[in-house]
Amino acid sequence: MSKVDTECRYLKSHEWARKNADGSIIVGISDHAQIALGDLVFVELPAVGSTLNAGASCAVVESVKAASDVYSPMSGVVSSVNSVLADSPETINNDAYGAGWMFTLMPSAAGEFDALLDAKTYEAGLES
């Protein structure tokens, strides 16, 4: 069974977002998503400084089974990316909510965070 981090908010497409103390948002894919994909072999991240729109494709994760788009949970500007993933994409498989984070963004519409699924609602969706 996959883990759901209660500090995160989620998209139905299995991305998570968590607020940092500085107001930025850290983004990754859920434990459920990494389990479904299997062993990750490649991650393409958005460029630092790029502007993302909520719900728009912004990254790609590839496994031995499939490639999958990653969608931005919020609108904003990418402030950093997890460069570890270039050489070690399996970091997401090992720690989806920690070391396997993908990028951070400075949100342009903070209210979008509250519109994301809370952990309980996301988990209920996984069970149905």
CATH code where residue 24 lies: 2.40.50.100
Assess if residue 123 is contained within a domain.
no
Task: Give the model confidence (pLDDT) of 2-57 as tens digits.
Answer: 899 999 999 999 999 999 999 999 999 999 999 999 999 999 999 999 999 999 99
**Which residue segment(s) compose the domain that 21 sits in?**
9-107
pTM value > 0.85: yes
Q: What is the pLDDT of residues 71-115, one digit of tens each?
A: 999 999 999 999 999 999 999 999 999 999 999 999 999 899 999
Contact 40, 62 (CB under 8 A): yes
Give a yes or no: residue 13 inside a domain. yes
Please indicate, yes or no, if residue 57 is contained in any of the structural domains.
Answer: yes
Total of domains in the chain: 1
Report if residue 116 sits inside a domain: no
